[in-house]
């Protein structure tokens, strides 16, 4: 099995190298990841400038590829023929923070897996729920081991085309994690605040600041599963149609008059 690994935090991020190390045990691995941090960049397709790709060495000395494109560009480049043989599995991560609820539309980690789903290839996003005020190095090993075990199983199972998996791992030692929960997206609570400052020439600029998002830990949701000590697996699809609302809008009788 040929696996493509990418991320949105950049080629030298420790979450990527921890996952690369584990994934080599289940297949042939190609790493193609952005040359800088694209976190919260959403789903990108770079069409108006060239994309450059060059070789890079990961921290453990293994060869990788990097590009000035976005995470979803990495997947498109690889699946359009840059990487041979064409990857059968795309793994994105490990992101240092959870991607929960509405985060999935902002997340470069998740949108890389979306790009795989568009191409008809199994895509898995892996994020670690590192506590907000964690200090010192982050231990990615438990999440990397879990991601690898799940990837091995998922590739043997009939995941429907167009479905990607958003996996979030609690920040716990491997033997303290209670299991796997299949979940739906929970409700994120964003606490963004607009910060207005002035540059040295007296002109205003704006920065979206504020606290990190919190969430409603309902049972059955991604947020709830992490709070209960489970690995959360949320199946996602790109059809965002609000199907239950179609009759409502049809009933409005909207017209061109
Ligand atoms: Mn990130």
Q: What is the mean pLDDT of residues 24-33?
A: 97
Quote the CA–CA distance of 111 and 230 in Å, as a whole number: 23
Q: How far is the CA of 111 from the centre of ligand 1 (A)?
A: 11
pLDDT at 102: 96
32-69 pLDDT, tens digit per residue, is: 999 999 999 999 999 999 999 999 999 889 999 999 99
Per-residue pLDDT band for 241 (boundaries 50, 70, 90) equals very high
Q: How far is the CA of 92 from the centre of ligand 1 (A)?
A: 10
Q: How far is the CA of 251 from the centre of ligand 1 (A)?
A: 42
pLDDT at 60: 86
* 49 Cβ neighbours under 8 A, 6+ residues apart: none
Q: 29 forms bridges with which residues in the sheet?
A: 3
Return the percent helix, strand and coil in the chain, to nearest 5: 25, 30, 40
Quote the CA–CA distance of 101 and 190 in Å, as a whole number: 11
Q: How far is the CA of 115 from the centre of ligand 1 (A)?
A: 16
pLDDT at 127: 98
Quote the CA–CA distance of 187 and 102 in Å, as a whole number: 7
pLDDT at 183: 98
Angle at 220 between CA 117 and CA 151, to 5 degrees: 40
Q: How far is the CA of 35 from the centre of ligand 1 (A)?
A: 13
- 3-state SS assignment for residue 72: helix
Q: How far is the CA of 16 from the centre of ligand 1 (A)?
A: 10
pLDDT at 243 over 90: yes
Q: What is the mean pLDDT of residues 200-222?
A: 95
Q: What is the mean pLDDT of residues 147-161?
A: 96
Query: Comparing C-alpha atoms, which of 157, 160, 167 is closest to residue 91?
Result: 167
Q: How far is the CA of 41 from the centre of ligand 1 (A)?
A: 9
128-145 pLDDT, tens digit per residue, is: 999 999 999 999 999 999
pLDDT at 59: 85
Q: How far is the CA of 95 from the centre of ligand 1 (A)?
A: 5
Q: Which two tokens stand for residue 171?
A: 């920040």
Q: How far is the CA of 183 from the centre of ligand 1 (A)?
A: 21
Q: How far is the CA of 177 from the centre of ligand 1 (A)?
A: 23
pLDDT at 14: 97
Instruction: Determine the CATH number of domain 2-186+214-251.
Output: 3.40.1210.10
Q: How far is the CA of 180 from the centre of ligand 1 (A)?
A: 23
Q: Where are the domains of the chain?
A: 2-186+214-251
pLDDT at 83 over 90: yes
Q: How far is the CA of 255 from the centre of ligand 1 (A)?
A: 43
Quote the CA–CA distance of 92 and 151 in Å, as a whole number: 11
Q: Among all chains, which residue has been given the structure tokens 């600041």?
A: 209
């Amino acid at each position: 099995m040929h696996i493509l690994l990418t991320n949105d935090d950049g080629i030298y991020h420790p979450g990527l190298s921890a996952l690369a190390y584990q994934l080599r045990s289940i297949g042939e691995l190609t790493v193609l990841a952005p040359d800088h941090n694209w976190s919260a960049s959403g789903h990108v397709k770079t069409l108006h400038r060239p994309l450059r790709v060059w070789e890079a060495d990961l921290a453990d000395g293994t060869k990788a590829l990097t590009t000035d494109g976005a995470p979803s560009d990495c997947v498109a480049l690889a699946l359009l023929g840059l990487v041979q043989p064409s990857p059968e599995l795309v793994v994105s991560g490990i992101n240092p923070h959870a991607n929960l609820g509405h985060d999935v539309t902002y997340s470069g980690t998740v949108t890389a897996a979306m790009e795989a789903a568009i191409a008809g290839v199994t895509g898995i996003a892996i994020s670690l729920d590192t506590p907000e005020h964690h200090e010192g190095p982050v231990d990615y090993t438990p999440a990397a081991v879990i991601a690898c075990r799940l990837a091995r199983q998922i590739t043997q199972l009939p995941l429907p085309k167009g479905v990607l998996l958003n996996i979030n791992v609690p920040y716990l030692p491997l033997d303290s994690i209670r299991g796997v929960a299949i979940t739906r997206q929970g409700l994120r609570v964003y606490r963004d605040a607009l910060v207005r400052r002035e540059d040295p020439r007296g002109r205003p600029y704006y920065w979206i600041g504020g606290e990190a998002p919190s969430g409603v830990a309902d049972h059955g949701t991604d947020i709830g599963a992490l709070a209960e000590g489970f690995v959360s697996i949320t199946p996602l699809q790109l059809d965002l149609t609000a199907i239950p609302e179609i009759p409502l809008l049809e009933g409005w009788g909207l017209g061109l008059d």
